[in-house]
Chains A and B, each alone.
Chain A
């Protein structure tokens, strides 16, 4: 493609500034993050210093039942949110793909939730659910669902994770819809015409033609949603603080709490690195299935 001479040298001149920047602000901190997992480092006990202790942090974290509880909650949240978002997102995108007057307006409205700062989304839902000042408890009362008010939903250890899932669904189903709509627009018309000639019904057309052809878009939506759901922090922080008890404590909140409430940098780093491991699995899957060369 590039036929101009001394191209290689020139290429690096363009390439390097951005990459060097990422080296400094990403790769070095990442190495630092991995490095501190081998040390005992408590900011509350500077007298103990920073002591090398091999893999002890990993043993501590991996032998603590709380880690697995947190991991379990995180996976329930991620699986629940992503699955429901995909199902709802597919249904809504098919509905919108039929084309009607006002379609553009509807799609614009759908952009709004995922452009909102998650911290404001969390504030909004906390407000909506407030037993004294929020409109949803009024609605619950009218519908006779007073069980949802006592204890308040955000203080209900059985339902709080579900509430966080619903908030995530509110914010990110529109994202899935827009990705799938883009995928649907690119589908060829011929297979459908042939299917109609062959007498295939609507469900058959969806299952045998739309779904297989839409697979790449579905894959992109699933992987990106999984990776972003895995890092959920903001809404947990402002809505529940991980509570009640630790019933909404997810991995990133656990790591944050270890670092900035217990000031155990080594342990916090270890939880972070384990979370990174999970994210890495999904990223590799993405690279393998979607590819890096578009």
Chain B
């Protein structure tokens, strides 16, 4: 239908190349720096150094750094688990049952997602202090679950709605209870959606900074809080911090690429499929 001239083709190829360079340039710089030996860390050069793993070694041999990686893993893992367990049944109810006040519930859940963190960071801090749970995993997992439960509800509701009701109806006719039907028939069918939701929740919790900054302490610091702490200091160890940066972003980039198909849907709370 459309005939593109050679000139237009070259032009668009050029534009796409430019976009790729612009997008990857910052990441490439940090990735390269993370492999630079200490002597070359303070030279703004792209090449001409002997790559080394020293910076990664420095990261893992610093107990404070290694601890924050562990903290991030624990907090993210637990928060994702808790929010799937809490949010999935709610999503199921919203997708499957007729009830009054459903729009109000959906708006309430949406509000929880849309509220700016600066409003909640103050009560979170004061309440955690009052309850004596500052600097505990409990506070951080609670915070992470708060971030992801609304997300699980909106995402999973959409995935459940796509599964034909007749499938679980026949399971119930065959003698399953509703819960059995949900666990044995519906959830396996929704498994890809569940996995994508889990990945996106992990992204939310893992990358969270403001709440983590206020709720964590020396024992529970997560990676973003650690990166901020060491970069705010006067003399920044660019090499080690580049390694820390890569360790913070790489696992999530890999996960994100795996869940690519559902990413847009998740990030728009299901309004774009």
- Whether B120 and A92, one on each chain, are in contact in the complex, defined by CB atoms closer than 8 angstroms, is no
Q: Name the segment of A19-27, A51-59, A79-87, A151-159 touching the other chain.
A: A19-27
If A106-B20, A119-B209, A283-B114 touch, does A22 touch B150 (CB 8 Å cutoff)?
yes
A19–B249 CB distance below 8 A = no
0/1 interface trace, chain A 128-167, chain B, CB 8 Å (1 if under): 1000111101100000000000000000000000000000
Chain A residues, CB < 8 A from B110: 283, 286-287, 292
The secondary-structure label for the interface of chain A is helix
- Using known A-B contacts A30-B119, A124-B26, determine if residue A18 contacts B257 with beta carbons closer than 8 Å: no
Residues on A with beta carbons closer than 8 Å to the beta carbon of B109: 22
Question: Does B136 make an interface contact (CB < 8 A)?
Answer: no
Assess whether B93 is interfacial by the CB under 8 Å rule: yes
The interface residues of chain B lying within 8 Å CB-to-CB of A21 are 86, 145, 149
B172: chain A residues at CB < 8 Å are 4
Is A65 part of the binding interface, using a Cβ–Cβ cutoff of 8 Å? no
The answer to whether A259 and B264 touch across the interface, beta carbons within 8 angstroms, is: no
Which of B12, B23, B111, B232 touches A113 (beta carbons < 8 Å)? B23
- Does A242 count as interface, using CB distance less than 8 angstroms? no
Contact across chains for A110 and B118 when beta carbons are under 8 A apart: no
A71 lies within 8 A of chain B by Cβ? no
B: interface residue count bin? 35 or more
Q: Which of B4, B29, B116, B263 contacts A252 (CB 8 A)?
A: B116
Cα(A138)–Cα(B245), bound, Å = 23
B93: contacting residue among A15, A92, A224, CB under 8 A: A15
Please tell me if B195 contacts chain A, counting CB pairs below 8 Å: no
Cβ of A175: which chain B residues have Cβ within 8 Å of it? 267
- A68 lies within 8 A of chain B by Cβ: no
Known: A32-B123, A279-B114, A294-B270. A15 touches B105 (CB 8 A): yes
* A220→B118 contact, CB < 8 A: no
CB neighbours (8 Å) of B43 from chain A are 133
B115 touches A123 (CB 8 A): no
Contact in complex: B256, A233 (CB < 8 Å): no
Contact B92 A14 (CB under 8 A): yes
**Per-residue B-contact encoding for A87-128, CB less than 8 Å = 1, 0 else:** 000001001101010000011111111111111110111111
Indicate if A62 sits at the interface (CB-CB under 8 A): no
B236 to chain A: closest CB distance in Å?
8
B118 lies within 8 A of A18 (CB): no
A59-75: contact bitstring with B at CB < 8 Å (1 yes, 0 no)? Answer: 00000000000000000
Bits for A271-287, please: 1 = Cβ < 8 Å to B, else 0. 11101100110110011
Q: Is the CB of A1 within 8 A of B98?
A: yes
Q: B16–A276 contact, CB under 8 A?
A: no
A290 and B165 within 8 A (CB): no
- Let me know if B125 is at the binding interface, CB within 8 A: yes
A196 within 8 A of B: yes
- The answer, among A16, A120, A224, A282, for a CB contact under 8 Å with B245, is A120
The contact sample of 29 A-B pairs, CB cut-off 8 A, is A1-B96, A2-B98, A4-B169, A8-B97, A11-B97, A95-B12, A95-B16, A100-B12, A109-B20, A115-B253, A119-B227, A120-B227, A120-B245, A127-B30, A133-B44, A138-B44, A174-B23, A178-B264, A181-B264, A182-B264, A220-B272, A231-B118, A234-B209, A238-B231, A252-B117, A255-B122, A272-B118, A293-B103, A294-B158
Q: Which 4 A-B pairs have the closest CB atoms?
A: A18-B90, A11-B97, A14-B93, A29-B123
Chain A residues within CB distance 8 Å of chain B:
1-4, 7-8, 10-19, 21-22, 25-30, 32-33, 36, 92, 95-96, 98, 100, 106-121, 123-128, 132-135, 137-138, 170, 174-175, 178-179, 181-183, 193, 196, 216-217, 220-221, 224, 227, 230-231, 233-234, 237-238, 241, 251-252, 255-256, 259-260, 265, 268-269, 271-273, 275-276, 279-280, 282-283, 286-287, 290, 292-294
Residues of B within 8 A of A (CB): 1, 4, 12-13, 15-16, 19-20, 22-24, 26-27, 29-30, 33, 41-44, 46, 86-87, 89-94, 96-99, 103, 105-112, 114-127, 142-143, 145-146, 149-150, 152-153, 158, 165, 169, 172, 178, 203, 206-207, 209-210, 214, 223-224, 227-228, 231-232, 238, 241-242, 245, 248-249, 252-253, 256-257, 260, 263-265, 267-273
For the complex with contacts A133-B43, A137-B44, 6 further pairs of A-B residues with Cβ separation under 8 Å are A8-B99, A22-B146, A22-B149, A132-B42, A259-B121, A290-B271
